[in-house]
Amino acid sequence: MNYQEKIKKSAELIKNSRFAIAFTGAGISTESGIPDFRSSDGIWKRFKIVTYQEFLTKKDAREEFWRMKQELLRELLGAKPNKAHNALAELEQMGLIRYVITQNIDGLHEQAGSKNIILLHGSNHEAICLGCDKTFPISNIYARLNEGEKDILCYECGGIIKPKVVFFGEPMPQKELFLASSLASQCDLMLVIGSSLQVEPAASIPRITFKNGGKLIFVNKSETDWDYMAEIIFHQSAGEVLMDILNRLKN
């Protein structure tokens, strides 16, 4: 199938679906200027992974984490939704996509106007003190990093402050994981957008749909180990593909 045939077939699958959902990863936000993790200029090429255990127990690991976060926040705080986020929000308004399950922590689906969002890895917009549970807007933490603080501790109780995101080695939020798994088993169509499908257990969500006989449309610039599951695959940029599908559905 050529590109236009794939767009036409994708639009038909969405239109004829009973319950379609989207599953998104860092790749949907690269066109908003936020780097993903595994592309050639991705975050893991520049920083080392800090696990939850290391963050809790080692000052130098926290400092490494906050150096990475400061760089990410510079891009993230000014970022705006792109064509792909906007298209998903519009598809939801049209009643064609019911939920967005996202691994992203950047808040761009919310900004674009999607309403039914499941955040598998939390949100970067708030931080919490692990000692006294006080919460802080992330802009407050960013200001402290820019003033030169390296290990961000609570001024009130001295506890470790952590962004409300799920770290490597930290348990996933059980309610979100349960909801995402249930939706994945109920849906008859899933759009999988901008994910290398390497981070578990989130990456297993599309497999649930596949096992239950649901169809998958993949939109990912590079190949993944799970491409064989897809009914239709686009190795192109998410913004272009989703806008073309949306326009096809509107005409």
Interface contacts to ligand NAD, rule CB under 6 A: 25-27, 29-31, 34, 36-39, 42-43, 103-106, 121, 194-196, 198-199, 219-222, 237-238
Q: Which of 109, 121, 125, 235 is catalytic?
A: 121
Token pair 């899933």 in the structure block, residue: 190
Distance between CA atoms of residues 150 and 172, nearest Å: 27
Contact status, residue 120 vs residue 184, Cβ threshold 8 Å: no
Contact status, residue 57 vs residue 63, Cβ threshold 8 Å: no
If the CB atoms of residues 30 and 154 are measured against ligand NAD, the closer one turns out to be 30
If the CB atoms of residues 194 and 214 are measured against ligand NAD, the closer one turns out to be 194
The answer to whether 235 is a known catalytic residue is no
Closest separation in Å from C-beta 112 to ligand NAD: 13
Closest separation in Å from C-beta 84 to ligand NAD: 7
Residues near 17 by beta carbon (within 8 Å), at least 6 away in sequence: 96, 187, 188, 189, 215
If the CB atoms of residues 17 and 237 are measured against ligand NAD, the closer one turns out to be 237
Closest separation in Å from C-beta 130 to ligand NAD: 20
Residues tagged active-site: 121
